[in-house]
Amino acid sequence: MGKWTRRGLIGAGGLLAITGVAYGGGLLACRMVPRHTPDFFASLPGMDHDALRTIGQSVLRDHPGLARPGAATRLLTAKAGIERAIGTDCPQTRMTMVQEECRADFAAGRIVLVDGWMISETEALISAEAATA
Amino acid sequence: MLEDFRSLPGGETFSADICICGAGAAGIPMALELARRGISVILLESGGIGLEEDIQALYEGELAGLENTDLSYSRLRQFGGTTGHWTGQCAPLDPLDFKQRTAVPHSGWPINRKILDPFYERAQPYLQLGPYRYSTESWGNELSGTPLPLDPETVTSAVYQYSPPTRFAETYQGDVEGEENLRCLLHANVIHMKLASGTDRLESLTISTLDGKKATVSARKFVLACGGIENARLLLNFNTDRPAGLGNENDLVGRYYMDHLNIVASSIVLADNQTDLGFYSQATTEAQLGMALRLTDPVIEREGLLNNAAFLQVVWENPDHNDDFRDHAWLSFSSMAKAFARGQVPDRLAENACNVIEQPGPVVTGIYRNIARRFTGGGVIKAIDLKQDAEQSPNPDSRVMLGEDIDPLGMRRVILDWQVAPGDMDSLRRTHMILGAELGKAGLGRLNLGISDPADVTQAFTGYHHIGTTRMHANPRQGVVDADCRVHSVDNLYVAGSSVFTTCGAANPTLTIVALALRLGDHLADTLQAA
């Protein structure tokens, strides 16, 4: 095994820095790239839409007012974090923003009980929207 | 020394400074410590060295309240008492448990945790535990893994230690035999307590074998250490000198019966199903530790909740990782295998072997899964169930009473009317809701509430912890014993064991039982020697 030389260390550090900057830049650039995502909720990565609709039906059973056309969407878009998420094209960023909104709901006690599950108000509205779509 | 009363002549009078009834977790350490201070002690035990069915049957009785409990299997009437089958989970009561809490009627001990701390520390070695450290901070760098990143203002980690578990019969038989000042009589059932005429002073008690051989025991001070149900049953039965029973002038003996609400309910689905939960069950060089999720004291007080410590019971995606095979048969098999591996003959070999022979299924499953785990590597977490021994609030209507049936010793059998208030379940539900909100706030996962609304008290099963029937209180109208564990209305009669607990907290009771027994032993020795 050869010794670490100063040149080697600087090179490795530089490589790491370039990689980090490139990844961060890529994430930023990703926000600028328009994508064909007509349904906001369809663009959340990793989402199981059948499960979402099933949860949504339970939410609608307990909160029938949300079944009115646009009701869930209006409540969702009234949330600042969700409005920002809608204005973002990058699915990963969107997901992060939605997750932050969910965490804020829990912190503020905006919690909905659905078949025993404690979910955030945002999750309840998203699933209700999915069930009515 | 250890003797069998059946082999001694009847009609004798045994005398000592102190007489302790019951050779279990409280009686044995207290007797040993008193004897080592030069005080003569008679230790009475109803049973023998091992389980005897006719003796054990003296525990039979009737259930009148919640039926998710039992009277004769949950405790052992033999030398060593119920330590013959306890699981070894230990923690001290929390400082909060001793306080008078506005949301918990009848709460408030006349002593606090600081008073008990030195005795907890002395109790640790009796239970073969590690150092007296029950906070994550006190273990510091010795801990491995990290707790779930929950808001420390709201959720903390309750620390438990695990005893091997210490079987007092095997561990302390030699000490009892070798102690000159201690005379332990087996098969000696207390059937009568006699007050000196016209006084509040206990003069003597009568002991009997099952076949009727009798003798008298006189002492300067007496201690009842027969367990949370039996202490009350005996006091209620001794009604010759006091019509309502000894110490029962205010109709308190037997009341405020509590058990821990043993409930596996509510489950968590983690956002990361491969989260490392090693922190919650780990071994250091000094102790085997278990951690549970507990709300912080300010949250418990602000919300007006009962105490609870929720252990994380992982449900693995691959059933090979699950431990649901761990029943009595598996525990018997496991203890035998460990003993053989050490080159020793297992304790209670016949009992353990029969447990395995009668239920081989869980043992086969356990062996298969333990082998399979070596090949399948780390598992994927499907869910985490919350397992707890939740605190029950003190309730005067939850009680031990006497029935009309008479046992072979001529004493009335027990009726247990265990009452769980719906509010106790509501408290647990609210506790889980706060945990669920914190998990969501931290982005760790979601919780499915398993406590029904309205409350269904049949969700609660016994924790096999019999607590509160001779509760400690400074006021004789609110408690049977005072802060020194002395029966308020009898000058020289004391009670040891979980029956003196004013509230039950969430911690398993054995460590507190031993600590209180050591404290009582000191008090008895100090007062005798001062006199």
pLDDT in tens, A68-108: 988 999 999 999 999 898 888 888 888 899 999 999 999 99
Give B37's strand partners.
none
Using CB atoms, pick whichever of B433, B442, B443 lies closest to residue A118.
B433
Residue A44 has a pLDDT of 58
User: What are the distances in angstroms from CA B506 to CA A56, B159, B211?
Assistant: 38, 12, 41
Report the residue of chain A nearest B448, measured CA to CA.
A117
Q: Provide mean pLDDT across the span A57-67.
A: 94
- State the nearest Cα–Cα gap between B153 and chain A, in angstroms: 13
Residue A37 has a pLDDT of 41
The closest alpha carbon to B227, from B516, B493, B495, B492, belongs to B495
User: What are the distances in angstroms from CA B427 to CA A41, B100, B432, B504, B505?
Assistant: 37, 17, 9, 15, 13
Residue B351 has a pLDDT of 78
Gap between the terminal Cα atoms of chain A: 62
The closest alpha carbon to B232, from B463, B399, B449, belongs to B399
- Are the CB atoms for B429 and B455 separated by under 8 Å? yes
Backbone angles phi, psi at B94, to 5 degrees: -75, 155
- Are the CB atoms for B270 and B444 separated by under 8 Å? yes
Confirm or reject contact between A15 and chain B (CB < 8 A): no
- Are the CB atoms for B301 and B96 separated by under 8 Å? yes
Per-residue pLDDT of B11-41, as tens digits, reads 999 999 999 999 999 999 999 999 999 999 9
Q: Provide mean pLDDT across the span A22-36.
A: 68
Identify from B446, B451, B453 which residue to disrupt to test chain A contact, counting A C-beta atoms within 10 A and taking the largest count.
B446
**Residue the block writes with tokens 């507190």:** B512
Per-residue pLDDT of B27-77, as tens digits, reads 999 999 999 999 999 999 999 999 899 999 999 999 999 999 999 888 999
The closest alpha carbon to B225, from B82, B33, B125, belongs to B82
Give B16's strand partners.
B219
Instruction: Write out the two tokens for B263.
Output: 């409930």
Cβ atoms within 10 Å, residue A33: 8
Residue B356 has a pLDDT of 83
CB contact under 8 A, B440 and A113: no
DSSP state of B329: H
What is the rounded CA–CA span in Å between residue B137 and residue B134? 9
Q: Is the pLDDT of residue A35 over 60?
A: no
Residue B502 has a pLDDT of 98
Report the residue of chain B nearest A118, measured CA to CA.
B447
Q: Check whether the bond before B164 is cis (ω within 30° of 0).
A: no
CB contact under 8 A, B446 and A106: no
CB contact under 8 A, A113 and B449: yes
Confirm or reject contact between A126 and chain B (CB < 8 A): no
The closest alpha carbon to B472, from B519, B506, B527, B416, belongs to B519
Residue B377 has a pLDDT of 65
What is the rounded CA–CA span in Å between residue B155 and residue B387? 16
Residues in A closer than 8 angstroms to B440, CB to CB, are 102-103, 105-106, 111, 118-120
Report the residue of chain B nearest A115, measured CA to CA.
B448
Using CB atoms, pick whichever of A113, A115, A118 lies closest to residue B440.
A118
DSSP state of B189: E
- pLDDT digits (tens), chain B, 531 positions: 999 999 999 899 999 999 999 999 999 999 999 999 999 999 999 999 998 999 999 999 999 999 999 998 889 999 999 999 899 999 999 999 999 999 999 999 999 999 999 999 999 999 999 999 999 999 999 999 999 999 999 999 999 999 999 999 999 999 999 999 999 999 999 999 999 999 999 999 999 999 999 999 999 999 999 999 999 999 999 999 999 999 999 999 999 999 999 999 999 999 998 899 999 999 998 999 999 999 999 999 999 999 999 999 999 888 787 777 877 788 788 888 888 888 888 877 787 888 888 888 888 998 888 888 777 766 789 999 999 999 999 999 999 999 999 999 999 999 999 999 999 999 999 999 999 999 999 999 999 999 999 999 999 999 999 999 999 999 999 999 999 999 999 999 999 999 999 999 999 999 999 999 999 999 999 999 888
Q: Most distant CA pair in chain A: distance in Å? A: 71
CB contact under 8 A, B449 and A116: yes
User: What are the distances in angstroms from CA B175 to CA A92, B31, B43, B170, B378?
Assistant: 68, 10, 13, 10, 45
Residues in B closer than 8 angstroms to A119, CB to CB, are 440, 446
- State the nearest Cα–Cα gap between A114 and chain B, in angstroms: 9
Q: Which residues of B touch A (CB under 8 A)?
A: 433, 436-443, 446-450
User: What are the distances in angstroms from CA A16 to CA A4, B22, B251, B492?
Assistant: 16, 70, 77, 78
What is the rounded CA–CA span in Å between residue B311 and residue B387? 5
Write the CB contacts of B441 (distance below 8 Å, at least 6 apart in sequence): A103, A106, A107, B151
**E-assigned strands of B258-338?**
261-270, 281-283, 288-295, 310-316
Report the residue of chain A nearest B444, measured CA to CA.
A103
Number of H helices, E strands in chain B: 13, 20
- State the nearest Cα–Cα gap between B338 and chain A, in angstroms: 42
pTM of the entire structure?
A: 0.88
Residues in A closer than 8 angstroms to B435, CB to CB, are none
CB contact under 8 A, B440 and A99: no
Using alpha carbons only, what angle is made at residue B13 by residues B231 and B222, rounded to the nearest 5 degrees?
Answer: 30
- State the nearest Cα–Cα gap between A90 and chain B, in angstroms: 20
CB contact under 8 A, B447 and A118: yes
Q: Alpha-carbon dihedral of residues B495, B497, B502, B504, nearest 10 degrees?
A: -170
